[in-house]
Amino acid sequence: MARRRELGTFLRARRERTTPTEVGLPGSARRRTPGLRREELAVLSGVSTTWYTYLEQGRDVHPSDQVLTAIADALRLTPDERAHLRTLADDTAAATPPPPTETLTPEVAAIPALLSPAPAYITGATTDLLAWNDAAAQYFPTLLNRTSSPTPNLARWVFLDPTARHILLDWPEVAQSLLARLRTTAGRHPTDPRFARLATELRENSAEAAAWWPRYDIATTHSGTKRLHHPTRGPLTLTHASFTVTDAPDQILVVYSDP
C-alpha cells in the first residue's frame, strides 16, 4: 500500500506539471491549476476517470504494461521517469523490505583508498558518506573533516551547511540534481523512515528543499563535470564518474579527476 500511495503521489506531481497545451488540449483562464485535470489524463490514456482516480489515490488497482505506457506517453515522461513509474507499479518490488542499516563490505570500503590521489567516496541510499579517501576530504573539508557527526551526509551538507555554496560553484544545479536523486531513491523505499526524517529536516531548514521536494523530480547517477572551489588551489573544473555497487544498488562510488 505504501508503494501504491507513492505511485499516486508521483502521478499527481507529473499531472500537475503537464499543461494542456503540451498535450494538444486548449487552455482556459478558469483553471484552478495549470496542470491537467484527472479526467483529461484519463481520456488521453484510454482509461476511465474513476479508475485513474483510484490509481492516483493509491487504491488496490493494478495497471497493465499497456496502461502504464499510455499514461507515460500522455504525461511525456522521460526514460528515467518511465523507469521510476514502472518500479512503483511493480508489486514484486514492493515486497522487498529496505535494509535497516547500511554497511559496506570490506572489499568495497577499501576502494576509495585504492583510487588515491583521485578524490573518491561512496554514498548510501540516503546520501550518507560510507567511505572516502584523504583526497576527497581535501576537496570537501567541511563535509568530511568533521568530528561532530560520525556519519557525514551529502544532502544535509549541500542544503544546510553554508560553506557548500562556496565550494560548489554551480550550487543550484548540483543541489537540484542531488535532491532529485534522493527523491527517486526515497520513492523506491516508501516504508523506510530514514528518508522521511531526512526529507523533513531538509524541508524545514532549507527554502530550496521545501520548494523542490514536492515537484518529485527524477534523476539517476551520472558522469559529468563539476566546478569546485578548492581551499588552496581556487576554482577547479573536475570530471567525475559514478558507479553502482553491484551487491547494493543504492550505494554509489563517485570518482573525481585530479587536474
pTM, to two decimals:
0.87
Cell of 68: 502504464
pLDDT of amino acid 97 = 57
Indicate the fold that domain 106-256 takes in CATH: Beta-Lactamase (3.30.450)
Instruction: Please spell the DSSP secondary structure of 162-218, one letter per residue.
Output: THHHHHBTTHHHHHHHHHHHHHHHHHH-TT-HHHHHHHHHHHHH-HHHHHHGGG---
In order along the chain (259 residues), what is the average pLDDT of each group of 10 residues? 89 90 72 81 92 90 91 94 92 59 90 95 94 94 74 94 95 96 92 93 97 92 89 93 91 88
Instruction: Please spell the DSSP secondary structure of 114-133, one letter per residue.
Output: HTTTS-EEEE-TT-BEEEE-
pLDDT of amino acid 148 = 54
What CA–CA distance (Å, rounded) separates 176 from 159?
Answer: 10
pLDDT of amino acid 31 = 65
pLDDT of amino acid 78 = 93
Q: Is the separation of the CB atoms in 84 and 218 below 8 Å?
A: yes
Indicate the fold that domain 2-94 takes in CATH: 434 Repressor (Amino-terminal Domain) (1.10.260)
pLDDT of amino acid 235 = 95
pLDDT of amino acid 21 = 82
Count the Cβ atoms, other than its own, within 10 Å of residue 245. 17
Domain regions of the chain by residue span = 2-94, 106-256
Q: Is the separation of the CB atoms in 116 and 137 below 8 Å?
A: no
pLDDT of amino acid 238 = 94
pLDDT of amino acid 29 = 60
Q: Is the separation of the CB atoms in 174 and 159 below 8 Å?
A: no
